[in-house]
Each structure stands twice: as C-alpha cells, then as structure tokens.
Amino acid sequence: MTKPPTLILIGLRGSGKTTLGKRLAAELDRPFVDLDDETARLMHAPDAGAAIREHSLRAFRAAETRALAGVLRGTGLVLALGGGTPTAPGASDLIAEEQRRARVRVAYLRASATTLRERLAQDPTDRPPLLGGEDPLAEIERVLEQRDVPYRTLANAVIDVDGLDPELAFAALRDWADDT
C-alpha cells in the first residue's frame, strides 16, 4: 500500500496555515508539522521570530531549507510552511521535486492584504518584519505582491480564504484534501 502524499499548506502570515492545518491533520489522523517550529528547533531558538532576530533572516532561510528537506523525508503529513519558505534558497525546488514524485500536494491559502492585516492585528504572536525593517502589518501589501505569483506557481490548488469564516475555510481545505 502506498503512503498518502504530504499535504503542504502555503500562504502569507495569517492565512490560516497552522490553524487549519492542525485541524485537517486531526481529522485525517495524520501528523501535523509547522515548519517554523522545526526551523526554530534546528536553530536552537524558542520560536521563528527569535531565530530571525538572533541569527538573521538569511540564516533562518538557509535553516528553513534544511528543515524542509528533513521533514519531506516523511510521508503522509500535513505540513504548514512558513510564509517565506518558498523564497528560501532551494526550497521551491525541493517541493517541486516531491510534487513530480507525487509525494506532496500543495494548497495555497490565499487572502487579501486587508484580511491578513485584520487577522494579524488580533494575533499576539511576535512577528519580525521581513522587508527593510517595516512594521509587519505595514509590509503586507508588498509581501503579497512579491509572493502571490510564486505561491500560485508552486500550488496544486489555490483556496481563496478571503472573507470565509473558519468553518467554510476548513470545508474548502477538506474538499481539496479529499481530492488528493
């Protein structure tokens, strides 16, 4: 019997990757992995924000690719990538190779900048800025503009979560997972 593919969730901060991913993993009885947590652990930091502040964004991205390679050795997971993982050197290539081998499927949880800003404003998580030291909420439009096309290119499916309550967003994700 072949193992089911790992289901990878990509999207910007606040798109629901971790929240929906944990729920999907529980419903499918699969392990859930948050790549930000794995990367922080690899860097001996308490969380991704601390890892970036202590070691630099560049060092974090390099460690993120190493962590991704390790996680992708497993199968049948639900994996939430960090928002910038597809920009990490070599990460998209690793994912694309696993897609070619039918070992992973990728869903892009897409939301507008307005929705992401609203969600992040309510989230107490300490998130470092990614672009030139801007406030994380102020940089959302620029980050979305930079990443939307690469995310779409990598994704097997785009799930528009904009304006969806958590139940409807989960239903859309579950429908996608059922098709894999």
Domains of the chain (ranges; CATH) run 6-178 (3.40.50.300)
Residues paired with residue 112 on neighbouring β-strands, in sequence order: none
Q: Could you tell me which residues come within 8 angstroms of residue 179 by beta carbon, excluding any fewer than 6 positions away? A: none
Confidence at residue 78, expressed as pLDDT on a 0 to 100 scale: 98
Q: Do 5 and 105 contact (CB within 8 A), yes or no?
A: yes
Strands 157-160 and 6-10 turn out to be unpaired
CA dihedral (164, 170, 22, 53) in degrees, to 10, reads: -30
Confidence at residue 141, expressed as pLDDT on a 0 to 100 scale: 84
User: What phi and psi values does residue 163 have, to the nearest 5 degrees?
Assistant: 80, 0
Q: Do 22 and 97 contact (CB within 8 A), yes or no?
A: no
Sheet bearing 104-110, strands edge to edge: 32-34, 78-80, 6-10, 104-110, 157-160
Confidence at residue 124, expressed as pLDDT on a 0 to 100 scale: 61
Q: Do 3 and 73 contact (CB within 8 A), yes or no?
A: no
User: What are the structure tokens assigned to 52, written together?
Assistant: 């970036």
Confidence at residue 23, expressed as pLDDT on a 0 to 100 scale: 97
Residue 28, CB half-sphere, CA atoms under 13 Å: how many? 26
Other C-beta atoms within 10 Å of 91: how many? Answer: 24
Q: What distance in Å separates the CA atoms of residue 41 and residue 163, rounded to the nearest whole number? A: 34
Q: What distance in Å separates the CA atoms of residue 129 and residue 8, rounded to the nearest whole number? A: 24
Confidence at residue 94, expressed as pLDDT on a 0 to 100 scale: 97
Residues paired with residue 38 on neighbouring β-strands, in sequence order: none
User: What are the structure tokens assigned to 68, written together?
Assistant: 């991704």
| Residues of the chain with confidence (pLDDT) below 50 | 131-132
Is 0.75 topped by the overall pTM? yes
